[in-house]
Chains A and B, each alone.
Chain A
Amino acid sequence: MIDGTAVLETVNLGKRYRRKWGLQDCTLTIPKGRVAALVGPNGAGKSTLLRMAAGLDQPSVGNLRVLGESPTSGSGDLKERVGYLDQERPLYKSFRVAEMLRFGAKNNPNWNMAVAQEHLAQLDIPLRSRIGNLSGGQQAQVALTLCLAKEPELLLLDEPAAALDPVARDELLRILMRQVADCDSSVLLSTHSLGDVVAICDYVVVLAHSRVVLSNDTEYVLESHRILSAVHDGDLLPPPGVSVINSQSSTRGQSLLVRVELPIDETQWRVERPTLEEIVLAYLREGSPGAKDRHSHDDEGLGE
C-alpha cells in the first residue's frame, strides 16, 4: 500500500559501495508538509539517502518512493516536483545572477521568476553581480533561490547552511521557511546544527552507523523522553514503562535518559525534560543497531 500523504517512504532501503554499506536497513516515512531534519555523524548515510531520493543514486536493496513514485524508474516529471541541492552548488561562476535566473527559467517549466527576484531583493543580492564575486554565503543563497524558484513539492537539501556565518545562515533558513509557508513545500534537510533542527524542523530522523535509530515528530520526541535522576548507591533499576536510551552514573546518583511509555513514579525519581539536543545525542551515543525506534514505522510500510 502506498500512503498518499507521505513525501518519502523507504522500506529496508540499502546502498552498498563496493564492500561498505552507505545506508542499511532504512525504513522510514516522512509525512507531507513536514520540515524534516536528517541528523547523524559524517558517514552515517545522510547524503546517500538524499542522493537516492533525488534519483542520483540507485538503491542496492529495498524500496524507495518519493512523492509516490520511484525516483529512478518513475515518470520524468518527478525531477520537476523535487528540488535537490548539495554543497557543490550548481552555479556558473562567470555568470551574472540575472543570467543564472534566465538559465533556470529556460530549464524549468514551473519557474517562478517573481519569487526568485523577491528572495534576491530581500537578501540584497544585486542581479548584475557575477556569481564568482559573491561571498560563500551569498552563493549559497543564490543556489537555494534557484532551487526554490522551481516551486518543488519536496526539497532535498544536503547541509544547506553548512559553512555559513550566523547571519547568512539565519537568512537562508528564513527564506526556506517563507517558501514552506507560501507553497506548502515539504523539506528533508541534513544538518549538523541541532539548534537549527529545533528552530525549523518538526520531524527528525537520526541516522547512526548507517541505520535509522529515531524517526518521529519533534514534538512527540520531546514529549516522550525524560531525564530521570535519583540519589542511589550502585545501580538502580529503571521504573517500569520506560526504555533507557542512555545512562550516566555519578558517585551517589544515577541519571537516565529514557523514552516514556507509562507515567513515572515521581516519588522515587526526579523527572526533567531533556532538550532535543540531549535526546538526539543520547541516540547517537547509544547508536546501536538494536535501537527500538528503528522499526517504528514498519506498519506504514510500502508493501509489495
Chain B
Amino acid sequence: MTEKPPSITFRLDPRSGVAPYRQLVDQVRNAMVSGLLREGDQLPSLRDVVTQITINPNTVHRAYRELEHLGIAEGRAGLGTFITSYSSRPFDATERESLERKLRDTITEARHFGISEEQILELITLAFRQDGDVRT
C-alpha cells in the first residue's frame, strides 16, 4: 500500500514569539498564496501531523479551528478538514497591479524620508502583525 504524502508539511519555530497555533495558520495561508495548497485540499489529520512533527495535538486542533473561523478551511464530519473555495480565490492581474503600485509609492515615500529597506520591511511586518491582532 502506498501512502499519499500530506498536502502540507508543517514546521514549528520554537524561537519565535508567535504562538505555535498561529505559526501553523500562517503556514497554511502562505501555502495558499504560493499555490502549494488549493481549494478542496485536505489538511493532514491531527494524528498525521503529530506523527510528522513533534507538536502538541491541541495546537494543531486550535490552528484548524482558527482556519475554520477565518473561513479558510472547513471541517467535514467524519472526513477531516478541507481548504474552502472562498480562501483560494486567485488574485487577478488588475488587483495585483493596483497593490504593486501602492507598495511602490510607499517605498518611494519612505526612501524620500531616508528610511532604509530593513526599516520598511520591519514596518510592513509590524502592520501585518497588527492586522493579525485585530482579526484574531
Q: A35-B56, A198-B14 are in contact. Are A218 and B51 (CB under 8 A)?
A: no
- List A169-220 residues whose CB lies under 8 Å from chain B: 170, 173-174, 177-178, 180-182, 194-196, 198-202, 218-219
Q: Which residue of B lies closest to A194 (CB)?
A: B14
**Main SS at interface, chain A:** helix
The contact of A195 among B14, B19, B47, B129, by CB within 8 Å, is: B14
Interface size band for B: 20 to 34
A202–B51 contact, CB under 8 A?
Answer: no
Residue of A nearest to B59 (CB): A202
Residues from chain A with a CB closer than 8 A to the CB of B19 are 218-219, 222-223
A173→B54 contact, CB < 8 A: yes
Known pairs A195-B14, A276-B14. 19 more at Cβ < 8 A? A35-B56, A170-B54, A174-B51, A177-B50, A178-B50, A180-B57, A181-B50, A182-B47, A194-B14, A196-B14, A198-B12, A199-B14, A199-B20, A202-B56, A222-B18, A223-B19, A275-B14, A275-B17, A276-B17
A174 with B14: in contact, given A181-B46, A199-B20, A218-B19 (CB under 8 Å)? Answer: no
Chain B residue contacts of A218, Cβ below 8 A: 19-20
Q: Which residues of B contact A272 (CB under 8 A)?
A: 17
Complex Cα gap A275–B12 (Å): 13
Q: Which 9 pairs between the two chains have the least Cβ-Cβ distance?
A: A273-B17, A181-B57, A198-B14, A195-B14, A174-B54, A275-B17, A219-B19, A181-B50, A173-B54
Asked if A301 is at the interface (CB within 8 A of a chain B CB), the reply is no
Instruction: Find B58's partner among A35, A170, A178, A274 (CB 8 Å cutoff).
Output: A35
User: Nearest chain A CB to B47's CB is how many angstroms away?
Assistant: 5
B82 at the interface (CB under 8 A from A): no
Query: What residues of A have a CB within 8 angstroms of the CB of B57 in the complex?
Result: 177, 180-181
Write the A26-52 contact mask toward B (1 if CB under 8 angstroms, else 0).
Answer: 000000011100000000000000000
Instruction: Report the separation of the CA atoms of residues A272 and B129 in the bound assembly, to the nearest whole angstrom.
Output: 10
Cβ-based interface call for B31 (8 A): no
- Does B64 have its Cβ within 8 Å of any Cβ on chain A? no
Contact B17 A181 (CB under 8 A): no
**19 A–B contact pairs at CB < 8 A?**
A35-B56, A174-B50, A174-B51, A177-B50, A178-B50, A178-B51, A181-B46, A181-B50, A182-B47, A198-B14, A201-B56, A219-B21, A222-B18, A272-B17, A273-B17, A273-B129, A274-B17, A276-B14, A277-B15
* Neighbouring A residues of B17 by C-beta, 8 Å: 222, 272-276, 278
